[in-house]
Amino acid sequence: MDIERIDQIIDRHQGEASSLIQVLLDIQSENHWLPKQALWRVSEKLQVELSRIRHIATFYKAFSLVPKGRHEVHICMGTACHVRGATRVLDKVQDFTGLKPGETDLELKFSLETVNCLGCCALGPVMEINGKTHGKLSPGQTADVLGAYE
């Protein structure tokens, strides 16, 4: 992400320090992570200490300081999903992507995370990709769903 694009995002929020979280969210949304260069620029333009920005970026799970894939895959491992076969769905996702939870592939296509609950227990087991919920998954359907995101 270049400095000019970061400046455009900051300017869209009138360069207000009170917009820090929204600025970081916008950068994260476009870039899939928060590079150090972006944090420096935000600190400089908003006149907010870099340590404060890093604290916010590490506190909220929505932010990542390491590159993430274009497609963020979340597998619900909550009780309802677990008893309906979430571990088998996770196994299929791992087979398909070659990733373990917390990893991103080298092509930056997929990132895989497990979560405790996605809030749609009646649809378990649930996989969320880029915010889109895929429920009542069987292990056999998992590869088909992931294939649509390649």
| Higher-pLDDT residue of 92, 61 | 92
Task: Quote the pLDDT of residue 78.
Answer: 95
Task: Quote the pLDDT of residue 16.
Answer: 87
pLDDT band at 150 (very low <50, low <70, confident <90, very high): confident
Q: Which residue shows structure tokens 């909220």?
A: 60
Average pLDDT over residues 55-80: 93
Domains in the chain with CATH codes? 3-59 (no CATH), 71-147 (3.40.30.10)
Task: Quote the pLDDT of residue 100.
Answer: 97
Angle between helices 20-31 and 50-59 (to 10 degrees): 60
Q: What's the DSSP call for residue 76?
A: E
Question: Does position 61 have pLDDT exceeding 90, yes or no?
Answer: no
Task: Quote the pLDDT of residue 15.
Answer: 83
Distance CA 99, CA 4 (A): 34
pLDDT band at 128 (very low <50, low <70, confident <90, very high): very high
Task: Quote the pLDDT of residue 137.
Answer: 95
Q: What are phi and psi of 17, to 5 degrees?
A: -60, -30
Distances, alpha carbon 143 to alpha carbons 39, 59, 88, 93, 127, in Å: 36, 33, 12, 7, 12
Distances, alpha carbon 125 to alpha carbons 110, 114, 116, 131, in Å: 20, 12, 12, 15
Distance CA 111, CA 99 (A): 8
The per-residue pLDDT of the chain, averaged, comes to 94
Q: What are phi and psi of 7, to 5 degrees?
A: -60, -40
Task: Quote the pLDDT of residue 124.
Answer: 94
Task: Quote the pLDDT of residue 129.
Answer: 96
Tell me the one-letter amino acid at 95.
D
